Structure 1
Amino acid sequence: MSDLVDRVEELADFFTEQVEEADDLGRLPDRTAKTLRELGIVRALQPKDFGGDERHPREFFEAVLAIGSRSPSAGWVSAVVGVHAFELAQATRKLQEEIWGGDPDTWVASPYAPIGRARRTDGGWIFSGRWPFSSGTDHCQWVVLGGMLTDDDGTVLPDGLRHFVIPRSDYTIVEDSWNVVGLKGTGSKDVIVNEAFIPDHRIINPADLGTGEAARQAGRGDVPLYRMPFHSMFSGAITAGTLGAVEAGMAAWVAYTRNRVSARGVKAATDPRQLHALGEAASDVEASRMQFLHDMDRLYEAAASGKPIPLELRAEVRRNQVRISHRAGAALDRLVAHAGGNSMRVDNPIQRFWLDAHVALGHGANVAEPIYEAYGTLTFGGKPDPKVRM
């Protein structure tokens, strides 16, 4: 266990206690964001020369799981905001100076959905759009947004997908745009950019993240952390956020079932059906955690070798990530099916964490079918759809 996880464990009661407040606010409370900053979870993947720790990805994800198993919303924000440091370490030096030069605890939000459109102008691009699902955005000072380069007529350019990195002064957070049944405390609100000027040095080509070219250009091509596949890392953040919510739900189920007595006077903790459901679910959830962390070890070992990371390994890891999320989610569903009607009362944490897990499962990175198809195609010697990100 790493020192980062040790510090999370010391704060376990804090993260558990603030869950309801976060949901009521529709974002993380200021005190929770402050605690996460002091903890250093978002600096875990940040370069050492900008105040970060450059930790092994396993350490980062173990800490995310430890947070998420107490507070799924705090775990989700830690994962998503934290993984952005991994990408920005591969951006231009000038951009890194702008973001972290004055404060290494600066947070950066997203999302990557290529909704925005950018047209060329002198020295950069004029960029506009509206994006949903900007997790943790109230506590961030920058945002990285997906978009497409266009010509002057608005026609999208070939290979025009880009990430645009924008300071807080150039975008608007839409209040009351995060009205959901789960992961309420993530504050994943809409953001709007209206005709903002984006200089060239604040634009990242995600294709270069996938090939390792971005890391080489940033002078970090020999650092194993920044040789990790971008899509395995970002999607891994979603897997960890989902799995943390499932673990929170399972812990709530155990706590509730321990003292639950049926209308017929039967103690649930002695009911064979309850015991069977728990044994099966606990095994599936633990298997999911072990597989997820093992895959991070495998990828890091491949990255540290200095050799290109095979597409076959990346496809295997993405196959596993989506399966992990859905296997764990199904395990929690089976427990909830045995929890009785009172588990759905709003003051029962089982329903809260169950809904958190299902909202997490709705993220695009958890859509399984294209990943399975790509893995199968590759297994049988074909070429996977290049739109499937691995």
Structure 2
Amino acid sequence: MSQTLADSASTAAAAPHAKANPRSTTATKPSMRERAAALVPGIAARAQQVDADRVIHPDSIQELVDSGLTRAMQASAYGGEEADPADFIAAVVEIGKACASTAWVLCILGMHNWQLAHFEESLQEELFGEDPTTLISSSYSQQGTAQRVPGGYLVNGRWRTSSGVVHSQYAIVGIDVQVDGKPRAHDFVLNLEEVEVFDDWFVIGLRGTGSRSIIAKDLFVPENHAIDRDVVFAKLGPGLKRNDSALFRIDQGVLYATVAAAPALGTGWGFYTEFKRQISNYTRRTDQARIAEERTVLLRLADAGAALRDQESVVLGHMDKAYARAVAGEEYDSLELAEAIFDMSRTSRAALIGPQHLMQVLTASVVVESNPLQRMYRDLLTARQHGTQNVDLHGAAMMNLEMGNEAVSRFILSPARRQAAMDRAAQLYG
């Protein structure tokens, strides 16, 4: 483990908010990061097979479940640990050092269990009442339709790239629902036994996430399986009447900004460490130079390490701040939220600084499939394509707000959207 991560995790653990949640079940257990570190050797040993099989190894999934990592962000009322979010993100970073795909799926699964705390209690009981280890994948883009019928909706659609769907029992999908004659984004929870999961995940990197498509045809979905997305953003979900800890008062935009950032950060550290290992005894044949002593290589390594340290501080710092603000009952204003989202959108770019400057040093040896560096590079390139890592999109939203312009952002509610969410929550949940 890098000294930087150890220092950052220690700082997070020592932060004033660390003991703010009296119901947390993690107080007498190893931290999430420590549990993740214990799993790294096995996950690293399976990483090449995960890439080849295009799905997380079942032993890795079982270890993540058994360790409690998948339940880190889950409501304690339903078997979760309600952990410090910075500790969970540090755990994802740790797993990312071993396998980007496994870290990606862990982060996704953890975030979904956090979101379920906002849904109606009847749904939480259905999902977690008998088995708190239930796993939920997602595909949030509104790619389906929902027709109102008695007791719920008739759902049709095809949702792409549902990471972790192979290991899950349910999935959250996005659908626009007509409310007062206008489309409003809703999240629907589908039982995966009732849909088709289609294998179309043939990609350059993050192959092991198994991010397949979900296809639903005339599927009845009960009313309590759906929630207005803006109601969740406004922290007005019906589940919060019971799940009232500060963890669930963190802005979803801050948390979900990490789903690509945390795995990318870990993979950047993995590349950095593996590259140093490979060059430690590497002598270039053409001139017999020791690569580990070349000034240019050392300077590139220095830049790579600095970029990772800086960005790790940014990501974990935002998690600390978001949790502390939630504990204090303080809300982000729109610009603060946009700044946090933008800052974390820069993570995969920062993690790529090292690989882009160092790949050429090892010439042809770095591109063979048996060399883990090429896999990490491909994984980072793919992570950069995630919507949360769109620097231009999130930077423009932030600067529009700073300039006093209207900003379009999925996670940032305008005054009109917030009022509509409040009205909707009052109508539905009282």
Distance in 1 between residues matched to 2:311 and 2:361, nearest whole Å: 21
Aligned residue for 1:161?
Answer: 185
The answer to whether the aligner puts 1:130 opposite 2:158 as a matched pair is yes
Superposed, 1:228-243 pairs within 5 Å as: 228-243=250-265
How many residues are paired up? 384
CA contact (8 A) 1:149 1:157 kept: no
Superposed, 1:347-366 pairs within 5 Å as: 347-366=370-389
CA contact (8 A) 1:260 1:267 kept: yes
Aligned residue for 2:281?
Answer: 259
Aligned residue for 1:140?
Answer: 168
Aligned residue for 1:79?
Answer: 107
CA contact (8 A) 2:48 2:372 kept: no
Distance in 2 between residues matched to 1:324 and 1:169, nearest whole Å: 36
User: 1:295 is matched by which residue type in structure 2?
Assistant: H
CA apart distance, 1:148 = 1.4
CA apart distance, 1:324 = 2.3
Q: How big is each residue's C-alpha offset from its partner over 1:293-340, in whole Å with a ceiling of 9 and x where there is no partner?
A: 001111111111113222222111011011222222233312224332
From 306, 314, 331, the equivalent of 2:354 is 331
Which secondary structure does the structure 2 equivalent of 1:129 belong to?
strand
Distance in 1 between residues matched to 2:172 and 2:252, nearest whole Å: 15
Distance in 2 between residues matched to 1:234 and 1:157, nearest whole Å: 29
Distance in 2 between residues matched to 1:266 and 1:342, nearest whole Å: 16
The answer to whether the aligner puts 1:190 opposite 2:218 as a matched pair is no
CA apart distance, 1:169 = 1.7
From 253, 259, 268, the equivalent of 1:246 is 268
Which secondary structure does the structure 2 equivalent of 1:115 belong to?
strand
The gaps in structure 2 that reach 5 residues or longer are: 1-8, 10-29, 414-430
Q: How big is each residue's C-alpha offset from its partner over 1:49-102, in whole Å with a ceiling of 9 and x where there is no partner?
A: 100000111011011110111111110000011110110011100000010011
CA apart distance, 1:351 = 0.4
Q: 1:30 to 1:45 in 2, by over 3 A?
A: same
User: 2:264 is matched by which residue type in structure 1?
Assistant: T
Aligned residue for 2:59?
Answer: 31
Distance in 2 between residues matched to 1:99 and 1:332, nearest whole Å: 41
- Identify which range, 244-253 or 311-320, moves more after superposition: 244-253
Distance in 2 between residues matched to 1:246 and 1:147, nearest whole Å: 34
Distance in 1 between residues matched to 2:301 and 2:181, nearest whole Å: 52
Q: 1:26 to 1:369 in 2, by over 3 A?
A: same
Distance in 2 between residues matched to 1:287 and 1:145, nearest whole Å: 34
- Identify which range, 180-189 or 378-387, moves more after superposition: 378-387
Which secondary structure does the structure 1 equivalent of 2:362 belong to?
coil
Distance in 1 between residues matched to 2:105 and 2:410, nearest whole Å: 26
The answer to whether the aligner puts 1:344 opposite 2:367 as a matched pair is yes
Which secondary structure does the structure 1 equivalent of 2:253 belong to?
helix
Aligned residue for 1:224?
Answer: 246
Distance in 1 between residues matched to 2:388 and 2:279, nearest whole Å: 32
Q: 1:161 to 1:291 in 2, by over 3 A?
A: same
The answer to whether the aligner puts 1:13 opposite 2:37 as a matched pair is no
CA apart distance, 1:353 = 0.5
CA contact (8 A) 1:148 1:161 kept: yes
User: 1:341 is matched by which residue type in structure 2?
Assistant: A
Aligned residue for 1:213?
Answer: 236
User: 2:197 is matched by which residue type in structure 1?
Assistant: I
Aligned residue for 2:225?
Answer: 202
Q: 1:386 to 1:268 in 2, by over 3 A?
A: closer
- Identify which range, 89-98 or 324-333, moves more after superposition: 324-333
Distance in 2 between residues matched to 1:9 and 1:312, nearest whole Å: 35
CA contact (8 A) 2:134 2:169 kept: yes
The answer to whether the aligner puts 1:171 opposite 2:195 as a matched pair is yes
CA contact (8 A) 1:253 1:339 kept: no
Distance in 2 between residues matched to 1:276 and 1:193, nearest whole Å: 52
CA contact (8 A) 1:370 1:388 kept: no
Identity %: 25
Q: 1:134 to 1:357 in 2, by over 3 A?
A: same
CA apart distance, 1:380 = 2.1
Distance in 1 between residues matched to 2:57 and 2:121, nearest whole Å: 32
CA apart distance, 1:255 = 1.5
Distance in 1 between residues matched to 2:358 and 2:36, nearest whole Å: 27
Which secondary structure does the structure 2 equivalent of 1:105 belong to?
coil
CA apart distance, 1:24 = 1.8
Distance in 2 between residues matched to 1:150 and 1:250, nearest whole Å: 49
Distance in 1 between residues matched to 2:334 and 2:147, nearest whole Å: 33
Which secondary structure does the structure 2 equivalent of 1:144 belong to?
strand
Aligned residue for 1:385?
Answer: 408
Aligned residue for 1:121?
Answer: 149
The TM-score with structure 1 as length reference comes to 0.94
Distance in 2 between residues matched to 1:121 and 1:240, nearest whole Å: 40
CA contact (8 A) 2:104 2:260 kept: yes
RMSD: 1.7
Q: How big is each residue's C-alpha offset from its partner over 1:104-132, in whole Å with a ceiling of 9 and x where there is no partner?
A: 00000001011011111111111111111
Distance in 2 between residues matched to 1:199 and 1:306, nearest whole Å: 33
Distance in 2 between residues matched to 1:141 and 1:251, nearest whole Å: 36
CA contact (8 A) 1:319 1:371 kept: yes
Distance in 1 between residues matched to 2:240 and 2:387, nearest whole Å: 29
CA apart distance, 1:217 = 5.1
CA contact (8 A) 2:163 2:209 kept: yes
The answer to whether the aligner puts 1:286 opposite 2:309 as a matched pair is yes
